[in-house]
């Protein structure tokens, strides 16, 4: 299996870096081929701007989606973006690894998504009609590939529990799991989350590392999150609302979209 890890932490000699080494080691021990996009080490350009579209006429208004679609169709995306797209196409499984900063991913990783997920590549694909609304949410270029998050946070697990003050961790990660991974077609695995990482001693780190190795060993077999596919009949098109009666009793919000 080909595994791409997109790593977003500014310090390679951090706990996050140690977990990255742990994941790589566990995967390679199983015979998998691993590639890493270390965004800080790559000095990844995070902002999507005019520099991404050198063929855009001077004075022409930048419309990012249409400029992205034109550049992708003409094979004129910048070299750094095309290299990351090639890695995504190469990979059977993609792992996004990052510390939870202000309830989401670091800006550099969001910028990787903004630039690499070009129109025509990760979105804006497929038929739009009264029965389909594009190839997305379970379909798309990444269909057949697996993806998951490896996340670290300084807060306690209880802080991210259903009654925790930070909100349930699954809700906080829903925009990434559902909106960034499931949208272009990935089969999304449950996230691996390490809590209270700023206070881990050697013994506690060994426990977290062992759990991560176990998760890497199950990467190809663990059951995915059962998100509803957009075009399988659960949603009214084009309103994209879940049809009445399909939800579990009392389910609202993000929970509606898990079958």
Model confidence over 17-70: pLDDT tens digits? 999 999 999 999 999 999 999 999 999 999 999 999 988 888 899 999 999 999
Percent helix, strand and coil across the chain, each rounded to 5?
Answer: 35, 15, 45
User: What local confidence, expressed as pLDDT, does residue 250 receive?
Assistant: 87
Strand partners, 258: 227
Q: What's the whole-number average pLDDT of the chain? A: 95
Q: Which domains does the chain carry? A: 2-224 (3.40.50.360)
Q: What's the Cα-to-Cα distance from 244 to each of 174, 248, 254, rounded to whole Å? A: 22, 11, 15
pTM of this prediction?
Answer: 0.95
pLDDT beyond 90 at 241: yes
**Cβ atoms of residues 7 and 36 within 8 Å:** yes
Nearest-angstrom CA–CA distance, 151 and 90: 23
Backbone angles phi, psi at 160, to 5 degrees: -110, 25
**Cβ atoms of residues 68 and 85 within 8 Å:** no
Model confidence over 218-232: pLDDT tens digits? 999 999 999 999 999
Model confidence over 134-155: pLDDT tens digits? 999 999 999 999 999 999 999 9
User: What local confidence, expressed as pLDDT, does residue 246 receive?
Assistant: 94
Rg (the chain; Cα; Å): 19
**Cβ atoms of residues 147 and 252 within 8 Å:** no
**Cβ atoms of residues 188 and 224 within 8 Å:** yes
């Amino acid at each position: 299996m080909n595994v791409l890890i997109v790593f977003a932490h500014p310090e390679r000699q951090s706990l996050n870096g140690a977990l990255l080494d742990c994941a790589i080691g566990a995967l390679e021990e199983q015979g998998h081929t691993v590639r890493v996009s270390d965004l800080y080490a790559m000095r990844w350009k995070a902002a999507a701007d005019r520099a991404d579209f050198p063929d855009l006429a001077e004075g022409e208004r930048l419309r990012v989606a249409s400029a992205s679609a034109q550049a992708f169709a003409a094979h004129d995306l910048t070299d750094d973006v095309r290299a990351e797209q090639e890695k995504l196409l190469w990979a059977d499984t993609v792992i996004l690894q990052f510390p939870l900063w202000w309830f989401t991913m670091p800006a550099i990783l969001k910028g990787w998504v903004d630039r690499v997920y070009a129109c025509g590549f990760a979105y804006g694909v497929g038929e739009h009609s009264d029965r389909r609304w594009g190839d997305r949410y379970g379909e798309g270029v990444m269909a057949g590939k697996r993806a998951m998050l490896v996340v670290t946070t300084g807060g306690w697990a209880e802080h991210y529990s259903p009654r925790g003050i930070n909100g349930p961790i699954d809700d906080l990660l829903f925009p990434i799991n559902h909106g960034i991974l499931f949208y272009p077609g990935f089969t999304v695995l449950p996230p691996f989350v390490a809590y209270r990482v700023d206070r881990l001693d050697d013994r506690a780190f060994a426990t977290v590392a062992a759990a991560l190795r176990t998760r890497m060993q199950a990467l190809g077999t663990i059951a995915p999150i059962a998100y509803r596919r957009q075009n399988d009949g659960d949603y009214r098109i084009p309103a994209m609302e879940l049809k009445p009666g399909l939800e579990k009793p009392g389910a609202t919000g993000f929970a509606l979209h898990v079958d």
